[in-house]
Structure 1
Amino acid sequence: MKKYAFNEITSMQYIFLNSGIQISVFFFSMPRKLAEKAGTDGWIALIIGWAVTVAASLVVIQVMKKYPDGTLFDLLSRYLGKWTGKTAAFLYALYLFYYAYTGLVQAVLLTKAWLLPQTSASIVMLLLLIPTYVIARNGLRVLGRYAEFIFIISCWIPFVYLFVLKDANWLNLFPLFKEGWMPVFSAVPTTFFSYIGFATTFILYPFLKNKQQASTALVISDTLTMFGYLFITIICFAYYSPYEIQNLNEPIISILESIEFKFVERIGVLFIAFFLLIFSLAWIPAIYMGVFCTSWLFGKQDHRNHLRILWFFLALVTFFFIPTFNQSDHMSDFLTRVGFGIEYLFPSILLIYLWMHDRFQRRKRM
């Protein structure tokens, strides 16, 4: 019997979970950050970053094929010993908790700035943590269904942004490579924050019902994320001048001010409230998988006690301290650097080691 059969998820749920983890509050400021690095050629960096991410994602799948019925920690315990698996579980839990906290902080700051300016940060955090606990406590299968639901009710959003195209100036995008390839390549590292999260496959893989479709599902997920980022970035670049967009902190929100409906006065507020649902797919799965790591570390089957401890810790910390927007940006930059090492470099190194190990064992048996 499969060890993780109880919480199995479908390929579709896996696609939406992975894509949801990748799309975070960074989504709002991404066009500005790309424009600062590469001007209106920044959208090309998104495609290059996507190609690198797909390659790294496929490496993760190849690693997990070495031990398909277990997580990364089960695999490391088998190949490198019990303490290596435990160390990896501890470090990966820290990474996921930091990822979730960064997303939560950005969501709290955004909510206070646009929706509830008179409400304290601790109350806003509590409002976000309550549904987080309700969803995360029920396990991965419920998380997968939640991701499917959020995707279905979000399909209308791209069509609203099409309304701004009547005032777009497509000449802003031309000529391509205004200053050559170097600015584009310099913007590629900026895109990695847009795609980190795919290494959660190290945990999700044994829960997949159809593991033969894992590679295809992961490529579809990364591509779905890329098209989402690419769509909104090109619209912002076409609507704003190359210099104007660099002065806007959140161009994706600012652009909504040009859209008018008779039945809605402040459409930006409506969208931000709805975007919080989408961004919850970043921190809720990260929190669940973080407590999954700690539960595995202590040999516990029930993750809910660890989830409660983390819940109270986050609520308590926010009562005393909440990072500013600048500090949040520094947190995101640090997360990008750490994420590049964990999600892009580590899987490749591990795959090389596993290949050498298996080859050595075969020669030994001959």
Structure 2
Amino acid sequence: MKKYAFNEITLMQFICIQSGVQLSVGLLALPMNLAQSAGTDGWIGILLVWILNLTASLIIVQVMKKYPDGTLLDLLAHYCGRWVGTVAAVLIGLYFFFYGYVGITRTILYAKQWLLPQTSSPLIMLLLLIPTYTIARNGLRIIGRYAELVFFLSLWIPFAYLLPLKDAQWLYLLPVLKEGWLPVFSAAEAALLSFSGIGVTLILYPFLLHKRQAAMGVIISNTVSMLAFLLITLICFVYFSPNEIKGYNEPVVNVLKNIEFKFIERIEVVFISFYLFMFSLSWIPTFYACTFCISWLLGKQDHRNPLRVLWLLLAIGTFLFMPTFNQNTFMGRWLTKCAFGIEYTFPFCLLLFLWLRVRKKKAELS
């Protein structure tokens, strides 16, 4: 009997969770960050990170195939010993907590700036944590259904971004590679945070109903994220002048300000309100992954008690400390470094270790 059969998710849910995690944290500021690094050539950096992400995601799938009915923690405990699995559970749990914390505090800052300027940060945190606990306590299958719902609720957003194209200046994109490839590589580094989140595959894989579809799932999810990033970035680049876009912290929101409907006065406020659902996918799956690691450490199947403790820590901690935009951006830079180590470097090293281990066993048998 499968260890995680009670919480299996479909391919669609797998794709929606992973794309949701990627499309949440860094999207609103992405065009500005790319423009500061490489001007209007920054969009090329998105393609470079997409290729890197596809490679890393497929490596993660190949690693997980070595132990298909368990998570990364089970794999490490099986091949390297319980203590290695314990260390990995602590580090990966802390990483997912950090990822979710950066996402939820960023959401609070956006909510205060655009929607609820007179509401205190602890109150907004509480308002976000209540549905978070309600969804996450029921396990990964419910999180997958929620991610599917968010996907369908968000289908109108790309079409709203086509409206500013009537004022687009496509010449802003020319010439391509104005200053060579070096600024483009710098832009790729700036886009890395937005593309991070593929590490959830390390936890999601054993829950996938048909594991042979995992490779297709990571390819589709990364491609969906890339197309979304590319569409919105190009629209911002052709709508704002190359110098003007650098003056907006959230050009993804500012580009909507000139859109007018007879029945909606400020569409950017509606956009932020709807996008809160997408933002929530930056912390609900990652907080679940964090509590899953804690439950694994304790040898428990039920993750709800660690989730309650995490809920209380976040609710009380916000009264003591709430990061500013600059502090959150600084944490985002550190998150990028952590993501590069855990989501890109570590799976490659682990795959190499497992390959060498198999080669060594074959050599001993022969």
- TM-score, normalising length: structure 2: 0.99
Residue pair 2:20, 2:281 contacting (<8 A) in 1 also: yes
1:224-248 deviation per Cα after TM superposition (whole angstroms, max 9, x unaligned) = 0000100000000000000000011
1:66-95 deviation per Cα after TM superposition (whole angstroms, max 9, x unaligned) = 100111011101111011001101110000
The offset of 1:155, in angstroms, is 0.6
1:304-342 deviation per Cα after TM superposition (whole angstroms, max 9, x unaligned) = 000000000000000111000100000001100111011
Name the SS for the 1:28 alignment partner.
coil
| Distance in 2 (alpha carbons) for counterparts of 1:354 and 1:174 | 47
1:176-205 deviation per Cα after TM superposition (whole angstroms, max 9, x unaligned) = 111111111121111111111112111111
| Distance in 2 (alpha carbons) for counterparts of 1:317 and 1:349 | 36
Residue pair 2:169, 2:239 contacting (<8 A) in 1 also: yes
Which residue pairs with 1:66 in the alignment? 66
1:1-366 equivalences under 5 Å are: 1-366=1-366
1:76-130 deviation per Cα after TM superposition (whole angstroms, max 9, x unaligned) = 0111101100110111000000000000110001101111111110000001100
The offset of 1:363, in angstroms, is 1.6
| Distance in 1 (alpha carbons) for counterparts of 2:161 and 2:219 | 26
1:33-79 deviation per Cα after TM superposition (whole angstroms, max 9, x unaligned) = 00000000000000011001100110000100110011101110111
Amino acid at match of 1:245: I
How many corresponding residue pairs?
366
The offset of 1:5, in angstroms, is 0.4
Amino acid at match of 2:169: N
Amino acid at match of 1:51: I
Amino acid at match of 1:179: E
| Distance in 1 (alpha carbons) for counterparts of 2:238 and 2:245 | 10
Distance 1:347 1:25, change over 3 A: closer
Name the SS for the 1:256 alignment partner.
coil
Amino acid at match of 1:105: T
The offset of 1:211, in angstroms, is 0.7
What is the aligned-residue identity percentage?
56
Residue pair 2:22, 2:282 contacting (<8 A) in 1 also: yes
1:139-170 deviation per Cα after TM superposition (whole angstroms, max 9, x unaligned) = 00001111111101111111111110000101
The offset of 1:365, in angstroms, is 2.1
Name the SS for the 2:27 alignment partner.
helix
Of 356-365 and 228-237, deviating more is: 356-365
Residue pair 2:25, 2:194 contacting (<8 A) in 1 also: no
The offset of 1:25, in angstroms, is 3.4
| Distance in 2 (alpha carbons) for counterparts of 1:100 and 1:179 | 36
- After superposing on structure 2, the runs of 4+ consecutive aligned residues of structure 1 that deviate more than 4 Å are none
Name the SS for the 1:186 alignment partner.
helix
- TM-score, normalising length: structure 1: 0.99
Amino acid at match of 2:126: L
| Distance in 2 (alpha carbons) for counterparts of 1:65 and 1:320 | 43
| Distance in 1 (alpha carbons) for counterparts of 2:37 and 2:185 | 9
The offset of 1:348, in angstroms, is 0.4
| Distance in 1 (alpha carbons) for counterparts of 2:22 and 2:115 | 24
RMSD: 0.7
| Distance in 1 (alpha carbons) for counterparts of 2:268 and 2:118 | 18
| Distance in 1 (alpha carbons) for counterparts of 2:191 and 2:116 | 30
User: Structure 1: which 5+ residue stretches go unaligned?
Assistant: none
| Distance in 1 (alpha carbons) for counterparts of 2:78 and 2:144 | 28
| Distance in 2 (alpha carbons) for counterparts of 1:148 and 1:338 | 28
| Distance in 1 (alpha carbons) for counterparts of 2:270 and 2:225 | 23
| Distance in 2 (alpha carbons) for counterparts of 1:86 and 1:64 | 18
